[in-house]
Structure formats: C-alpha cells, structure tokens
Amino acid sequence: MKINPEPFEYLKWSANFLKLGYCLTALPRFAYWGMRLTRPFYVKGENFLNRKIRWSLLTLGGGVLPPEELKAYRYGMKTFIDNIENALKANTSGKPVVWVEWILSSEIVGAFDAMPFNPETLNLFGNMSGQDVPPMLIEEAENRGFATEYCSAIKLTAGAYMLEQSPQPAAIISGSHPCDTNVSAYQSIAHLTGAPVFYFDAPYWRDEDSFNYYEKSMWNLISFLEKNLHQKMNWDKLKQIVDNENKFNFYLHEICEMMRVAPSPATMITPLFAWVVRELAIGDPNGTEMARLMYEVVRDRYKKGIGVAKKENIRVLWWNPPIAFFTYVFKWMEDEFGAVVVKDFIGDVQAPQVDTSSEKTMIHDLARNHLFLAMARQCHGPVEFITQELEKSIEEYSPDCLIFAGHAGCKHGWGAIGIIKDLLKKRGLPSLFMNMDIMDQRHATEDDIKRWITEFFRSNGFV
Amino acid sequence: MKTILDETRELASSTCNRYLDEARKQGRSIIGYFCSYMPEEIIHAAGFVPYRMRVVESKGTTKADAYYSSINCTFVKQCFNKALNGDFAFLDGVVFVNGCDHSRRMYDNWRFSGIDPSFLHMFFAPHVIREVSYEYFARECEKLKLSIENHFKVSITDEALGKSIGLYNKKRRLLAKIYSLRKKKNVPIKASELLGVMLAVTAVPVEQAVEILTEVKNFIEGRVVSRPEDLRLFISGGCIEEIEHLELIENCGSVIVADNICLGTRHFLDEVRTEGDPLTAIADRYLSHLSCPRMMGDFNRRFDYLLAIKDECGIDGAIIEKLKFCDIWGGEIYLHRVEAKKKNIPLLALERELYGGGAGQIKTRVQAFLEKLKNRQAADEGLVQAAGSDYKPKL
C-alpha cells in the first residue's frame, strides 16, 4: 500500500477503470460471461494480482448480475465517469467545485455553472484501488487529530482531502443530519479546506412548520451560492435537472414497489447502485436512462413472475446502510443461499415528486423531497421515523429475517437499538445484529460478515 | 460552621433536595430539562420549577444498557438508568433537547419505556444561527409554552414571562459577578466550588437560587483560595458535573479561572432583553448565547471567546474535555488543537467517562501539562536562555 499516493490517484484510477467497464458493458453478454468465467480469479479474496479490479467486478455483480441489468449499470457508470472527470478537470478549467455532502442532493448546485462533487465519493470508489485504501484514508484523518469516534464516512472524506485525493472546493454544502458527525465534522472540514460552508439544519418534525423551515434554508442556499460563486442560478437548468430527477425517482419507486412480490424481481443492489448515481449526479440524463432500463428489466421479471434469484429461499430486510467495502454481499447472499434483500434503509426511494411549474413550487417540493431522501427521512427526528418504516417494511415486504448492519459511527442508531430489538421481537422476526463499520474493515472484515450471515441463516434453519 | 459553599455542595451531591420538596408541597410542578438551549423562563412562567437533569448519585448503567449500546455516552446512559430506577420520580415532566444524538434518543427511550412522568416534550434547538432559525426557534418556544399550558391546564402570560425573564436575568447577573471575581489575581472561589454552586442553583427554584447566589457572592468577597504559584486555566467541555474531577485538576497546582461549559459560562452569559415580545426575546438569547459545538459554523465565535478571556483572566493554559463517544466535542477538540497551536495557547485535551474513574490517569496527564506550562514560564522568563540550552529549571 502506498502511504503517499499521487494527487487524485484514486479518483483517476476509478475514472479509468470505469471507462474500461463502460466500454466492455457495451456488449453486456460478453461482459457478463467474461466476469462469470474469470470468477475464480477474483471472487474468493483480494490478492496482489486482482486488488485493483476485484471490488469493481464484484460490484458489477461478479458474473451473477444478468446482462440486461449490466446494460443499465453501463449508464450509471457513464454518470460516474463524467462526474469524476469533470471534478478533476474543474480546477484547471476554472469551473468551481462545490462539495455536496453525501446525505444532501445536488440539484441546486447543478443549476449553476459549477461542478457538484460528492466528497464522500472515495468511501465507495476508494475500494476500486484496493480494500486497504479506505482504511488508509481514515487513518490519515485520525492521525491528524480528527475525532476517532466520528462516522468513518466523514473521516475518510477528511483523509482524502488531506492526501490530495479530492478537488479543492470553492464552497461546501453540509447538513445537520443524519448524525452528530455531520454536525461536527463539517466544521472541521470547513477549517481544513478554508471553503465557505452552507449548513442545512434539518428540523426534528415532519409538520408544515418544519418543512417551511427547510424550504427557507433552501432559498438561503441559493443566495449563498450566488454570492460565493458570483453567478445567478439558472432556473431552466434546474427545471431540466428536476424533470430528470422526477423520472428517476418514479422508476426507482416502482422498482421498490415491485420488490414486494415473492419471488422478488430484483435484489436491493439495483436500487442501491442507483442511489450512488443519485448521490453523485442526480438529474444527469444518463442516470435517468439507467433507472429506466433497470425499471424495464424488473418490470419484465415482475410481469413474468420471475424472481431475481433462481430460487428465492429467504427474503431479507437489510437495516442501516450497505457495506461499502463489501457491496457484493447482496449478490453473494443470493448466489450462496437464495437470500434476496427485498428492502433496505438506503436504496428504497420514497422521495415525493417535484412540481416544476414555477420556481416557488420547485423549491417548495425540493425541500420536502430532500427530507425524504435515504437517511434524512429516518434519522432527523424521533425514533418513530425508523420504527414506522420498519413496521411498514415488515408488513409490505414479507421478510423472513432482518440483518442489522450496525455501523460503528451511528450513535443515534445504536441509541435506539433497544426499541428496534423489541419491535423485532414482538414481530417474531429473526434478526442478526452485526457490530461493524460499513467503511472500515478494521472493525469487521468481509470474511467476518460472511461468517456471521452464514451462521445466522443456519441457526435459524433457513439453509 | 457550615458555610454557603458547604450547603451548595450538599445540594449538588443529591438528585433531589429540600427546596424541591417544599416547592412540591406548595403545589409547584418540577420539570426536568436537558441542555443550555432550553429556556427555563418558559417553565418558570407557568409557576413551575425547572430542574437541570443530572447524573449525581448514579448507580451505574445496568438497566439503560438494554436501551442503549456500548458506544453511547455515559451521561445519557447513567441519567436514563436513574430514570428507570425511579430516581426522578419527583419530576412532573421532562423537556428534552436535540442537543446530541445520544440525548435525543433519550426522549425516545423514555417514552418507549413507559416510565413517569407523562409530560415528555422534545424541544428542538436549531443547529445554525441565522434569521430563519431565529423565527423557527421562537415558534419552538411557543410550542413548548402551548404544550405546558395544554398538559398542565395552566396559562403562561406575557406578564409572567416578563417576570421570569427579570428573575433569570438577575440570576445571570449574580453568576456573572461571581464568575468575574475569578479574573482577579487572588481568586476567591475555586471552580470545583463554583460547579457545586451551579449544580445547586439549577436544582432549586430560581427565587432560592438568587438568594443562594447573593450569599455566595457575599461569602467570597475578600476570600482567597488561589496560591501565587497556581497556574491559571481555562476549561471547556460538554458534560462536566463531577466536583471531584475539577478538584483533581486544582490539586495538581492550578486554579481554573474561566470556562465554556454547560454548567458554567454558557448558562449565564448574555441576558434576555426585557423589551418586546418575551418569547422572541427568549429565543434570541438562547440561540445566540455563547455556543456549544453543536452549533454549526460558530467555531470562530467560541474560539474568540477563549482569546478574549485569555488576556482578561491571565490564562496560562486551557483544558478541553469530552466524554467518550462524543462526536460534537471530539470535533471541537480537533479545531481547538489546530487553532491553539497557531495562537500559541497551551492546550490539554482529555477524554473520559462521566463518573467513570480513571482519576490516576487524568492526574498524570494534568500534572504533565502543568509541568510543561511551568517550564514554559521559566523559559519565557529568560532563565533557560540565561543559563544555556541544557538548563533544567528547578520548580
């Protein structure tokens, strides 16, 4: 492992490898068989030879994801490539880079002549350069005094910036949700980067007062960007972005709805892949095209009554965010046990549609939309925002069990653990609680997770 | 003879006290609250007694552990454990604040566990200071007022709010006066004693608190507790309520002369203005007072406070503390470290558990820090330069 990587080394590698993936998936069947036949080379574990391609191939389904879905993923890859390359070029081309922190959304920035960049990008794409890269970035931030108790997502963001792996921001947009790490860490990041920061304050409740409060903050954000980027917002561009977003959300919402049927026509990795696209480049036409293709594949299976797994043995609810360093876990469970994750915390889309008829309606609805994004909707208020969604999921998705990915940095999630456990006990749902960190393998490795899940399925008689 | 400081220490060392018993006998409800962002005036204007929640007399976290996890902080776990044990049975209500992730989940766990009291209110304090948050915060104050009125069938009038504001401002002025006496060369009250006073005056009716503070002010006039060789420290942190912890720092050879802690300056700095709409005035004060790091984008103001007080109080060094698993103070420590280095302010960062022991470890770190400060002073005085680079000052 390199201690001092070249500037932007990991982003550049990500963009280059994604380009290769983009070219190969132009022939999805070829890509599928290529990945399938070479599985012995990369599936079992990371080694010197496969470290720079393993995670990517596994995330692309590792030869388990069918060609028709690969075709959709291809458009997602295009959005990633464009986003990363534009961010890398932005500083030289004079276009300001605006960091939009991972739990927010970048429509407003997209409506400026600026480059939205998700500073948490390397939490996921860092793995493309090897499993040891994210922990190395996290350690860098810790070594330089960042609070060790922070959620690793933001520690990694700081570490990446410290090691010149992220572009210099002209401005930063951050928020008070989903957790204290966000509240605190972006104050430190502001200090580190010297960039002006706009802080969104998520209200606690979901009443009109609260939505209006958030909406007013959104208008404040526009003023903040206009002032700091020395530009006026392009409302036509915003309308275009939001139109695309509406379509994107519609397709994803439909996919999630279809996953209620047994056998499930999709596994959660599909909406999750789309979530990453949303995080990086919502409103990008390629992202919307990806969502449309995903929707068509899933709808086709739904209509034919075909499940994504050859034989659906176990329906799983996945609670808390997915594991960044082991995105393959969904396909692995499907392949190994016929276990299909039918609903999760992040991929499920519940964001309301945005009325694009006027500037006012767009901002009004975007504020509401943002508070229903993944993690925002569950984490900004009372525990009922979690438990009601959990209960609804149990009723609507007929799960056989629940896997709780207990992320180390998530203090409020762990602070409600007694309530969640009690709810699951009352519902009689077998549950696995994993103590881990979704970004940092120093807590629990891929093998630990596989072992826990295997033992859980066995001890509950699912396999 | 028992002094007023002995009495405040006694009040500080118990969960309930005779003043609260008396208030209850008079028919006044006691409302527990968390956080320096919760306006006591609103509770008081209802004729009730606001009571700052505390962990003193905690017997552990055994029961609370079933609700929380090992990565939640010891303040909330011990406090909630006390609630589950019935130690807060004298309360008629509790007002929670979204101060941090750990404490906001206490609102959920308390409701879920079904324990008394029945009046549980979540009071939202914004994380930013800007125009829209002032408006929203004022509405939250209004909601709290309505919630109390509806639940307890009482009326909170503007007149009552005005009186409460006046009374709390009086309390703030007294505290400010007492705190300012620490700026003197001869410090008349130790921080550990003052913490006892703070714990006492946040656990009794404000009318009583004013009397106590007046007595304390009179008692410490002309008193000297500092020694000439004591190093003068600033302390900053979230949850500090163990008197023994501050005594430990003081006994290592220091005197704490200023702070930015919940049960300290943040509690009394800045008054509520007495003109205009009382709820708006309350909202303005509580949102704009010396901030806790939970307020985003306000670090410069917090650090500027330290810089300002540094010269005013002749501070030799600063201690910043956090409880384990506290993201908010963890971030503040990082920022303080970076800025303190730039401004040449000696800083010691401590991490600990509330009532969690580890006194020996803390003592060693504090001693080492103070020794470093003394060496620095010796160097500043030119001793090292005069005697050569291998000179070791004998202190």
- Is A240 found in the same domain as A228? no
Decide if B330 and A147 are in contact by the 8 Å CB cutoff. yes
| B225 in any annotated domain | yes
Instruction: Give the tens place of pLDDT for each residue, A257-278.
Output: 999 999 999 999 999 999 999 9
Decide if A383 and B331 are in contact by the 8 Å CB cutoff. no
- Residues B183 and B181: their CA atoms lie apart, in Å, by 5
| B60 in any annotated domain | yes
Three-class DSSP category at B370: helix
| A365 in any annotated domain | no
Query: At what angle are helices A417-427 and A384-397 packed, to 10 degrees?
Result: 30
List of residues 6+ apart from A380 with CB closer than 8 A: A176, A177, A178, A202, A203, A204, A371
Domain boundary among A172, A205, A233: A233
- Is A428 found in the same domain as A330? yes
- Is A209 found in the same domain as A154? yes
Decide if A187 and B297 are in contact by the 8 Å CB cutoff. yes
- Is A74 found in the same domain as A156? yes
| B371 in any annotated domain | no
- Is A299 found in the same domain as A253? yes
Asked casually if ipTM beats, i.e. exceeds, 0.90, the reply is yes
Q: Which residues of A fall within a CB distance of 8 Å from B102?
A: 411-412, 415
List of residues 6+ apart from B295 with CB closer than 8 A: B127, B128, B129
- Is A342 found in the same domain as A203? no
pLDDT given for residue B390 in this prediction:
56
- Residues B127 and B132: their CA atoms lie apart, in Å, by 11
- Is A332 found in the same domain as A284? yes
- Residues B156 and B159: their CA atoms lie apart, in Å, by 8
- Is A305 found in the same domain as A184? no
Decide if B296 and A220 are in contact by the 8 Å CB cutoff. no
Kindly indicate the confidence band of residue B385, based on its pLDDT and cuts at 50, 70 and 90.
Answer: low
- Map tokens 């409880």 to a residue: B323
| B388 in any annotated domain | no
CB crowding B81-115: b at 16 or more within 10 Å, else e: bbbbbebbebbbbbbbbbbbbbbbbbbbbbbbbeb
Q: Give the domain CATH number at A201.
A: 3.40.50.11890
pLDDT given for residue B393 in this prediction:
46
| Shortest alpha-carbon distance between residue A418 and chain B (Å) | 4
| B394 in any annotated domain | no
pLDDT given for residue B356 in this prediction:
84
Domain boundary among A215, A233, A251: A233
Mean pLDDT of B164-188: 96
Kindly indicate the confidence band of residue A2, based on its pLDDT and cuts at 50, 70 and 90.
Answer: low
Q: Give the domain CATH number at B61.
A: 3.40.50.11900
- Is A129 found in the same domain as A229? yes
| B378 in any annotated domain | no
Decide if B112 and A191 are in contact by the 8 Å CB cutoff. no
| A358 in any annotated domain | no
In this structure, are residues B118 and B144 in contact, taking their beta carbons and an 8 Å threshold?
no
Q: Which residues of B fall within a CB distance of 8 Å from A179?
A: 101, 327
- Is A211 found in the same domain as A147? yes
Domain boundary among A182, A211, A233: A233
List of residues 6+ apart from B364 with CB closer than 8 A: none
Distance of CA B282 to the CA centre of its chain: 19
pLDDT given for residue A94 in this prediction:
86
Decide if B112 and A180 are in contact by the 8 Å CB cutoff. no
| A435 in any annotated domain | yes
Q: Per the structure, how many domains does chain B have?
A: 1
Q: How many CB atoms lie within 10 A of CB A398?
A: 15
pLDDT given for residue B395 in this prediction:
42
Decide if B122 and A174 are in contact by the 8 Å CB cutoff. no
Q: Per the structure, how many domains does chain A have?
A: 2
Mean pLDDT of B341-356: 93
Beta-bridge mates of residue B364: none
* A419 touches B at CB < 8 Å: yes
The answer on pLDDT for B392 being more than 70 is: no
- Residues A146 and A140: their CA atoms lie apart, in Å, by 9
- Residues A417 and A118: their CA atoms lie apart, in Å, by 30
Decide if B327 and A180 are in contact by the 8 Å CB cutoff. yes
| B379 in any annotated domain | no
| Shortest alpha-carbon distance between residue A150 and chain B (Å) | 6
Kindly indicate the confidence band of residue B394, based on its pLDDT and cuts at 50, 70 and 90.
Answer: very low
| B211 in any annotated domain | yes
Instruction: Give the tens place of pLDDT for each residue, A222-240.
Output: 999 999 999 999 999 999 9
| CA proximity to A117, closest of A152, A90, A144 | A90
- Domain span at residue A32 reads 9-233
pLDDT given for residue A205 in this prediction:
95
- Is A169 found in the same domain as A20? yes
Q: Which amino acid is at A94?
A: G
Q: Which residues of B fall within a CB distance of 8 Å from A150?
A: 327, 330-331
Mean pLDDT of A65-74: 94
- Is A183 found in the same domain as A88? yes
Instruction: Give the tens place of pLDDT for each residue, B228-249.
Output: 999 999 999 988 999 999 999 9
Instruction: Give the tens place of pLDDT for each residue, B14-68.
Output: 999 999 999 999 999 999 999 999 999 999 999 999 999 999 999 999 999 999 9
Q: Which residues of A fall within a CB distance of 8 Å from B101?
A: 179-180, 411-412, 415
- Domain span at residue B312 reads 4-357
